[in-house]
Structure 1
Amino acid sequence: MSKNREVAKQVLAAIGGKENIASATHCVTRLRFALNDESVVDKEALEAIDVVKGSFATNGQFQVILGQGLVDKVFKELADEAGISQSSKEETKTAAEKNLNPLQRAVKTLADIFIPILPAIVTAGLLMGINNILTAGGIFGDASLIEMYPGIADIANIINIIANTAFVFLPALIGWSAMKRFGGSEILGIVLGLILVHPDLLNAWSYGQAIEEGTMPTWNLFGLEINKMGYQGQVLPILFASFILAKIEIFLRKKIADGFQLLLVGPIALLVTGFLAFAIIGPITFAIGNGITGAFVWVFENAAIIGGLIYGAIYAPLVITGMHHTFLAVDLQLIGSTNSTPLWPILALSNIAQGSAALAMFFLLREEKLKGLSMTSAISAYLGITEPAMFGVNLRFRFPFITAIISSAVAAMWITANNVQALSIGVGGLPGIFSIDRDGWFAFAIGMVIAFVLPIILTYVYVKARRIKLQ
């Protein structure tokens, strides 16, 4: 029997056998199962398997971490052993939804919408970091690099355009992903998003000034005045409008004959949704978005340390539940409304803290498999991917996870007290500094040191003080 087949048999037995599998698939590093009953999983037996680097349940799926390359081979053997075929990721997600409560379903919906556009947002954030280095003064002297070397000014301008595009046309990205999630045509979602940022509309970032000066342009529709404004950088208007658009499109496709659908479905759906977006959906959700933004701004202006303490402490537990995806929408809303966010820097520090807790376990553990997992997962966390460290090491022993939370909260209190802001969403962990406003670099660097060093000290002291014997 091949080693991969033996691993597959052991995994299958640990998760409750083929009878417990409702659907199965895999991603680059993990086996993903929708199980009929997660309570029958023998996690101790599962994680005792040599090649298993950890396991966890999230969003109704039970996932087993194997690593790139190996996961393909083991899944093939497992599918053959269990007599099942590989389900698509969407089929497994659908099968897993039966295990979710209403709140989890709502969070999962947000995750399904925002995760697909995350690569574009992160790429834009990194490029904006490069642009900040080129254009900000005080980094290499009083003058900026483009002032010192005028020849690179146009290069910086091109980088800025490339970086800003994802944020300027954010509604189009969200429209595409939301329509895909709600079952509509993605192309109509893109068009709806572009409608909401049409250049003939008042730019959303000029809204406050237009209100103050009384220069807000309007449409007059049958005596009803509608603000002629765009929704650049806004999240809620396109989310709700996409939901309405998808429902109208699905309804029309059921009622209109196939031969007339191309001529009628798209135009009617877009026309109705467009009017609703500008007349009702946009103004209401824009006000809600401003309210959310105002609440977070107030907290971090008037009780910054408390806000940092709370968010720094809860972010890692939110990752376990999947609810951290909700705050991606909040970050984007804050950036769209205020051009910066105090929340994202805390995420980056939480990544570092989880990595350092795992690194501490590398020096404390004796068992070679866990030592190797601790080191590799720590490096991954320092580069912004914390799941291997959290689920493979820190949550397994519990106390490293707690020391990481404490350290993240302390570091978050420091940076929020010093008003550290991120200009964009980028890569978490150590590269996160490139997304930070230049004025906050020094304070954020100190926060990084706290998040790096404190978990190692706390974890080591805890083990020695409690005289914990680790294998």
Structure 2
Amino acid sequence: MNNQELAREIIKLVGGKENIESMTHCATRLRIEVIDKEKINKEQTEELDKVKGTFFNSGQFQVILGTGLVNKVYAEADKLMDGNSESSKSNQNKPRKKRGNAFQRGIRIFGDVFVPIIPALVATGLFMGLRSLLIQDDILGLIGLSADSIPEQLLTFTQVLTDTAFAFLPVLICWSTFRVFGGSPVLGIVIGLMLVNPALPNAYEVGAGSVDPLVFFNFINVSGYQGSVLPALIAGILGAKLEKFYRTKVPNALDLILVPFLTLLSAIVIALFIIGPIFHGLELLVLQGVTFILELPFGIGGLIYGSFSQLLGIFGVHHIISFLEINMLTQTGWNLLNPIAPGNVAQAGAVLAVAIKARSQKLKQIAYPSSLSAALGITEPAYFGVTLPLVKPFIMAMIGGGVGGFLASIFHLKATGMALTGIPGMLLYLNEQLPLYILVNAVSFSVAFILTYTIGFNKSLEDQYINR
């Protein structure tokens, strides 16, 4: 049975196209929302070739196919559904059903939005790790070369590999959010592109103080959203809901013209002039708070920052930290923030514990590469694919990061640069500090791993994750 035949049989056994409200997929399962559950022939579906099992949860009939195969079968099913698998024509304007309590719905939405973009972030993490080795004089010197020996064209190529996914992360998030909330994904892409438009001051450059934000009405600061997560997610949710609202108000004859126009205009105005200033104000508070924490004695500052610095990227206020790091490097030649933020390797430890202990192949397939990516300094796959949906492993990673930050502060570790963390971060400590840096990260990793394996992850959490 080929993929097209399998897709056709699955559609038939769930009651046909007319019984399908929507169809999506995750890493391993085809997820079908049906109108009448009684029309599903569960036993015959499980007997189909290549089907590894089925179950019904939260209003979804989920067919387990496995990694890779599920994408191919979904593509064939989408063709059979006339390209409307995510929202069948007869049910296109029905509101999204609420199933489970608010927390369960939130976790499910979180996973639905971020799981599809995890592969791109994992790949980017690997690219960044390789590039950091390629441009370091200390590494190249081992083979008689230097960074100046590398052709400019090759450096540009590697920059394309490492920077694209994160420079345009809001695009990926807005696209996925529109898809989940029933909007037009192409409008999500355009809104995401607007958030990182080159006409806007770059968020990292604004955070570093090298450029100024645009100022509207003498008090609203506007800049781009490069690398932002939560602001893009909020903009995507609002945009999708606005589009659905406008479709109920605009006459059919004007729908094609007015709905996209009003959706894009409303979403970008709200994103730039309301969401943006709110998060800019939060960034300033974070800057003041981090400055205060760094001055605390006896390693307390490292403990606090190591524990909570992992939240900065999630809330989209991490850009302002660049200002502090550059200021330190300019004045003293050292970066005190980098060593007290070992949260990346702590995340790697927590996620590896989940990967080893999990029974679900789906969770293992997400967790193992996410752990490697976190160790290389890219934690988004770990955050959004594993630890945040499970909650407890994230807390264990915060504890591991806090212990490592405390030790780094006690040891007075100082980095010679910025940006690199995790394993590539060793390149910032190629002096007598390197053994201590490795020790700090090993402790952070071990604490998070042990806590997650023993008390931070269990069968109940795994079942909630799988059936969300």
TM-score (norm 2): 0.55
SS of the residue corresponding to residue 262 of structure 1 reads helix
Specify the alignment match of 2:102 in structure 1. 102
Give CA-to-partner distance per residue, 1:360-397, whole Å, 9 cap, x none.
xxxxxxxxxxxxx89xx9999665469xxxxxxxxxxx
SS of the residue corresponding to residue 186 of structure 2 reads helix
Superposition pairs of residues 129-148 of structure 1, within 5 angstroms? 129-141=129-141, 146-147=146-147
Superposition pairs of residues 396-415 of structure 1, within 5 angstroms? 413-414=403-404
Offset at residue 330 of structure 1 (A): 3.4
Offset at residue 163 of structure 1 (A): 1.0
Specify the alignment match of 1:368 in structure 2. none
Specify the alignment match of 2:242 in structure 1. 248
SS of the residue corresponding to residue 139 of structure 1 reads helix
Superposition pairs of residues 68-467 of structure 1, within 5 angstroms? 100-141=100-141, 146-147=146-147, 150-208=149-207, 216-220=213-217, 226-288=220-282, 291=285, 303=300, 306-307=303-304, 330-331=313-314, 333=316, 336-338=319-321, 342-353=342-353, 384=370, 413-414=403-404, 417-418=407-408, 423=419, 433-434=423-424, 436=425, 438-439=427-428, 445-446=438-439
SS of the residue corresponding to residue 218 of structure 1 reads strand
In structure 1, C-alpha distance between the alignment counterparts of 2:442 and 2:56, rounded to whole Å = 32
Offset at residue 219 of structure 1 (A): 3.9
Give CA-to-partner distance per residue, 1:43-97, whole Å, 9 cap, x none.
xxxxxxxxxx9xx99999999999779999xxxxxxxxxxxxxxx8999xx9x98
CA contact (8 A) 1:172 1:190 kept: yes
Higher helix proportion: 1
Offset at residue 348 of structure 1 (A): 0.8
CA contact (8 A) 1:249 1:265 kept: yes
In structure 1, C-alpha distance between the alignment counterparts of 2:435 and 2:56, rounded to whole Å = 38
In structure 1, C-alpha distance between the alignment counterparts of 2:356 and 2:280, rounded to whole Å = 40
Offset at residue 187 of structure 1 (A): 1.3
In structure 1, C-alpha distance between the alignment counterparts of 2:70 and 2:267, rounded to whole Å = 44
Letter paired with 1:204 = A
Aligned residues: percent identity? 33
Give CA-to-partner distance per residue, 1:91-143, whole Å, 9 cap, x none.
9xx9x986633233333333322222222222222211111111124335499
CA contact (8 A) 1:234 1:337 kept: no
CA contact (8 A) 2:121 2:165 kept: yes
Offset at residue 244 of structure 1 (A): 2.3
Specify the alignment match of 1:82 in structure 2. none
Offset at residue 413 of structure 1 (A): 2.1
SS of the residue corresponding to residue 418 of structure 1 reads helix
Q: Which runs of 5+ in 2 are unaligned?
A: 1-21, 34-51, 72-84, 89-93, 323-337, 373-391, 452-468
In structure 1, C-alpha distance between the alignment counterparts of 2:129 and 2:190, rounded to whole Å = 29
In structure 1, C-alpha distance between the alignment counterparts of 2:128 and 2:405, rounded to whole Å = 21
Letter paired with 2:271 = A
Letter paired with 1:438 = L
CA contact (8 A) 2:202 2:224 kept: yes
Offset at residue 276 of structure 1 (A): 2.6
CA contact (8 A) 1:178 1:239 kept: yes
SS of the residue corresponding to residue 139 of structure 2 reads coil
Q: Which runs of 5+ in 1 are unaligned?
A: 1-22, 35-52, 73-87, 313-326, 359-372, 387-401, 426-431, 459-471
In structure 1, C-alpha distance between the alignment counterparts of 2:398 and 2:273, rounded to whole Å = 44
TM-score (norm 1): 0.54
Offset at residue 200 of structure 1 (A): 1.8
Give CA-to-partner distance per residue, 1:194-244, whole Å, 9 cap, x none.
212222222222325669x9x554345xxx654342222223332222222
In structure 1, C-alpha distance between the alignment counterparts of 2:289 and 2:277, rounded to whole Å = 18
SS of the residue corresponding to residue 223 of structure 2 reads coil
